[in-house]
Copies of this chain bind each other. A is one copy, B any other.
Amino acid sequence: MALEHAILVSLAEKTASGYDLARRFDASIGHFWKASHQQIYKVLGRMESDKWVEAHLVEQSGRPDKKVYAITGEGRDELLRWSSTPTPIEPTRSEIAVKVRGLPFGDREAVLSDVRTRREAHVAQLAYYEASAAKHYPDPSAIGEDELGAYLVLRAGFMQEQTGIAWCDEILQAFGADER
């Protein structure tokens, strides 16, 4: 139940409409917490009744009106409260790990080609993180306190992709399928 909090963080940084949030969740924040626009609208509604956020309608010309949400004092309180409660370690859930584990009962070639595809996805994502870091934080030693969180999260993504690539390589090597 942390989508609420992900939204609060996002709104604490900058007010946004549901649509804006949906796009943010497709990009930056979405790298470690995905959400569809349907889900976002639903949760925003609940958060508004909880007084964590408040909306005001912005009329636009040429495009539909939008509701811009801002975090409230209560929302900030909730963020603080939440940040000081221990985080449960969420179990990994990896379908491809199940497939690899069950390789003797599966289609070996298909799974290996799946692994190759996944490797490429990791490489692409890694490149994205790298570019993003180079753009926003060209000088890592000059990162301010307020940017540090975002930077560290980017690092997490980066490291995770590296690990993902390394694991794929081990698999492909183990099955002698790393030549293409």
Interface stretch, picked from A49-57, A126-134, A154-162, is A154-162
* Distance in angstroms between the alpha carbons of A110 and B89 in the assembled complex: 16
Distance in Å from the Cβ of A16 to the closest Cβ of chain B? 15
Q: Which residues of B contact A33 (CB under 8 A)?
A: 91-94, 97-98
Number of interface residues of A (CB under 8 A): 67
Distance in Å from the Cβ of A106 to the closest Cβ of chain B? 3
- A39 contacts chain B at the CB level, 8 A cutoff: no
Contact of A159 among B2, B31, B156, B163 (CB under 8 A): B163
Contact of A80 among B107, B170, B174 (CB under 8 A): B107
Residues of A116-144 whose CB lies within 8 A of B:
117-118, 121
Q: Which residues of B contact A105 (CB under 8 A)?
A: 8-9, 12, 76, 79-80, 83
Among residues of B, the one whose C-beta sits closest to the C-beta of A92 is B32
Q: Which residues of B contact A90 (CB under 8 A)?
A: 93-95
Which residues of chain A have a CB within 8 Å of any CB of chain B? Answer: 2, 5-6, 8-9, 12, 29-34, 76, 79-80, 82-107, 110-111, 114, 117-118, 121, 145-146, 148-150, 152-153, 155-157, 159-160, 162-163, 166-167, 170-171, 174-175
